[in-house]
């Protein structure tokens, strides 16, 4: 079981008065003034008081805007504001968590006059980083055409791709030294979104933030030495545990705890007993719907791809068979659209289920997936499918494939327990379906049509370095001769269009005169090749001509 720390609230440094920089004027000191710090060390009492409907919306806005402006002293209008109120405000705005280290109240004669905020020394940098990471998260998911449940799944996968579980945090000397290192880093959205490393509280805080950004009600759930989330969809609450479903951030994840019921939670001691926070406006009620867990559990191993209202995934077919299936989360319908025999031999040449090692990813209408020795593409619009990448292998198989740092990548090995380093693929991109020339990692230029190598293509193609002659789907650097496109006939030398060439060239239609790499249809006169001098009319040899002609040597 993954370890974690229960986050009991906002802990505060007693070194506050050593701060040398403030962002607003400190209120006038009087003998009756007192500073009270929010130091919440009783989770149960704090949970019961988190929903503070008496907090003035204007004060909430004033405090949050002041924090975003990095003010140290923020005046308030409600003299009854207490620490439970400020704690509730703080937790309703997860965008400020990354750079606030502590919150206190300034009281004069028992009346609250301002909120005092203790920031990290690098608050401005952290604020800039978390806001950039939040914008990156918004830009990463195109939510157009998505329902709320689609958005939940999209960001659940986004978080699992982005963050890795920090298995080494127990060995970090700062974790227990009282400096809030855990809450500020491993246990926070800052850890997941900026450092890409966190523990369970970091996963939960981050998913809460992502849902908050999308306007989807979400809460944080405290269990037995573990933290996860509850999300409100279609009038019901569901539980999600990204920590336990994140196998790795490369090719694998599972959905054992995606939108599950309390009956599912009751099956293990970590999730059986829990407390749900109440930061939002919708009270938590028992999660009873198990329809999503029935659809996902044990049926999907790897990331899903969203396209045109549906999700696509590589699934568990019959023995030795691949399947690509389409899921609609709104109608709860699943349809198999493709099946193919595919067998890995793992180590001792024992056959295995194909889907155990095959993984998929995609972009728009292209779904990419791995086979034992190749990467394939399936066009979701047309049903076309074929190989897009074939690495050079020696007694190895592809045991991992997916998106890594925004690029397609894979790992190979003699068996699934001994895979090599992550290798990137440059022959296609997880972006718009590739059409035209693209170079693979071995330096070979291939011709692609709708994201797949077109081994039938013979003709001209252009890349950033010029025009090239393609034969059977790749550049033929041995070719010298003529080729045609929609703009005319051209002369190629060693596979590349030679704009400097002037002279004769031959194809199945006869001999032609070229000027600057293309047929000169206006040329009438004499030209020479290794066989002698010839007479041309309108760019081609005139075999009917008899008479005189002039060149630079005379008549």
Mean pLDDT, residues 206-210 taken together:
96
Q: Is the pTM of this model over 0.75?
A: no
pLDDT, position 211: 97
- Which stretches of 364-444 are assigned E, i.e. beta strand? 366-370, 375-379, 385-389, 397-404, 407-413, 423-424, 436-439
How far from 264 is each of 4, 110, 204, 245, CA to CA, in Å?
Answer: 21, 49, 18, 14
- Which stretches of 58-169 are assigned E, i.e. beta strand? 73-75, 100-108, 111-119, 164-165
Mean pLDDT, residues 479-505 taken together:
91
Sorting pLDDT into bands at 50, 70 and 90, what band is 418?
A: confident
Q: Is residue 214's pLDDT more than 90?
A: yes
Percent of the chain with pLDDT over 70: 80
In tens, the pLDDT along 83-133 reads 888 888 888 888 888 898 888 888 888 888 899 999 988 999 999 999 999
In tens, the pLDDT along 189-201 reads 999 999 998 889 8
Q: Is residue 253's pLDDT more than 80?
A: yes
- Angstrom distance (rounded) from CA 479 to CA 465: 17
Tokens of residue 240, six digits: 């999600």
Mean pLDDT, residues 252-277 taken together:
92
Answer for the pair 76, 147: CB distance below 8 angstroms, yes or no. no
Which helix (H) or strand (E) segment is 240 a member of? strand 236-240
Mean pLDDT, residues 295-313 taken together:
84
Q: Is residue 16's pLDDT more than 80?
A: no
pLDDT, position 442: 64
Q: What is the mean pLDDT of the chain?
A: 81
Q: Is residue 424's pLDDT more than 80?
A: yes
Tokens 């001999």 label which residue?
A: 511
Query: How far is the first Cα of the chain from the last one, in angstroms, to the nearest whole number?
Result: 96
Mean pLDDT, residues 481-497 taken together:
91
Tokens of residue 162, six digits: 């982005």
How many other CB atoms are there within 10 angstroms of residue 394's CB atom?
Answer: 6
Sorting pLDDT into bands at 50, 70 and 90, what band is 216?
A: very high
pLDDT, position 9: 33
How far from 497 is each of 259, 467, 483, CA to CA, in Å?
Answer: 58, 6, 9
Q: Enumerate the H helices of 297-371 as residue ranges.
A: none
**Candidate ranges 10-19, 255-264, 369-378, 429-438; pick with highest mean pLDDT:** 255-264
> What does residue 137 show for φ and ψ, rounded to 5 degrees?
-65, -40
Q: 52: helix, coil or strand? A: coil
Name which residue leads in pLDDT, 360 or 555.
Answer: 360
> What does residue 233 show for φ and ψ, rounded to 5 degrees?
-135, 135
pLDDT, position 13: 32
Q: Is residue 321's pLDDT more than 80?
A: no
Sorting pLDDT into bands at 50, 70 and 90, what band is 135?
A: very high
Name which residue leads in pLDDT, 178 or 234.
Answer: 234
């Amino acid at each position: 079981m993954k370890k974690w720390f229960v986050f009991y609230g906002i802990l505060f440094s007693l070194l506050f008065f050593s701060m040398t920089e403030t962002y607003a004027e400190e209120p006038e000191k009087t003998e009756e003034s007192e500073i009270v710090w929010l130091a919440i060390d009783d989770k149960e009492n704090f949970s019961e008081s988190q929903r503070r409907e008496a907090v003035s919306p204007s004060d909430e806005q004033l405090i949050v805007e002041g924090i975003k402006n990095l003010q140290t002293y923020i005046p308030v209008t409600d003299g009854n504001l207490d620490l439970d109120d400020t704690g509730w405000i703080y937790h309703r705005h997860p965008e400020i968590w990354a750079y606030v280290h502590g919150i206190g109240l300034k009281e004069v004669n028992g009346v609250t006059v301002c909120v005092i905020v203790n920031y990290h020394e690098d608050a401005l940098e952290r604020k800039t980083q978390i806001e950039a990471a939040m914008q990156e998260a918004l830009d990463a998911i195109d939510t157009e055409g998505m329902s709320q449940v689609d958005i939940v799944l999209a960001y659940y996968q986004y978080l699992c791709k982005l963050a890795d579980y920090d298995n080494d945090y127990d060995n970090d000397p700062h974790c227990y030294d009282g400096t809030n290192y855990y809450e500020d880093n491993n246990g926070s959205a800052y850890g997941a979104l900026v450092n890409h490393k966190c523990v369970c509280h970091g996963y939960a805080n981050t998913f809460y933030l992502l849902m908050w950004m999308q306007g989807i009600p979400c809460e944080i759930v405290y269990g037995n030495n573990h933290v996860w989330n509850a999300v409100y969809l279609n009038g019901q609450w569901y539980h999600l545990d990204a920590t336990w479903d994140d196998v790795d951030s490369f090719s694998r994840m599972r959905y054992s705890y995606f939108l599950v019921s309390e009956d599912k939670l009751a099956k293990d001691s970590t999730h059986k007993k829990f407390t749900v926070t109440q930061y939002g406006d919708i009270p938590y009620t028992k999660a009873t719907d198990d329809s999503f867990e029935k659809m996902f559990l044990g049926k999907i191993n790897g990331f899903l791809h969203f396209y045109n209202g549906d999700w696509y995934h590589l699934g568990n077919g019959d023995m030795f068979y691949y399947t690509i299936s389409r899921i609609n989360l709104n109608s709860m319908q699943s349809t198999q659209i493709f099946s193919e025999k595919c067998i890995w031999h793992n180590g001792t040449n024992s056959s295995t289920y194909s889907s155990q090692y095959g993984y998929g990813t995609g972009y728009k209408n292209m779904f990419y997936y791995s086979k034992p020795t190749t990467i394939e593409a399936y066009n979701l619009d047309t049903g076309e499918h074929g190989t897009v990448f074939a690495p050079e292998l020696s007694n190895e198989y592809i045991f991992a494939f997916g998106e890594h740092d925004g690029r397609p990548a894979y790992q190979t090995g003699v068996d699934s327990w001994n895979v090599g380093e992550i290798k990137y693929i440059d022959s296609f991109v997880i972006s718009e379906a590739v059409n035209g020339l693209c170079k693979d990692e071995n330096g070979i230029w291939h011709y692609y049509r709708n994201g797949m190598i077109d081994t039938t293509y013979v003709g001209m193609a252009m890349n950033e370095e010029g025009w090239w002659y393609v034969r059977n789907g790749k550049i033929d650097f041995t070719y010298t001769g003529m080729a045609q496109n929609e703009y005319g006939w051209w002369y190629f030398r060693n596979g590349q269009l030679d704009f400097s060439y002037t002279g004769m060239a031959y194809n199945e239609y006869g001999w032609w005169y070229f000027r600057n790499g293309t047929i000169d249809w206006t040329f009438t006169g004499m030209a020479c090749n290794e066989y002698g001098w010839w007479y041309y009319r309108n760019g081609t040899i005139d075999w009917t001509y008899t008479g005189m002609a002039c060149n630079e040597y005379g008549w």
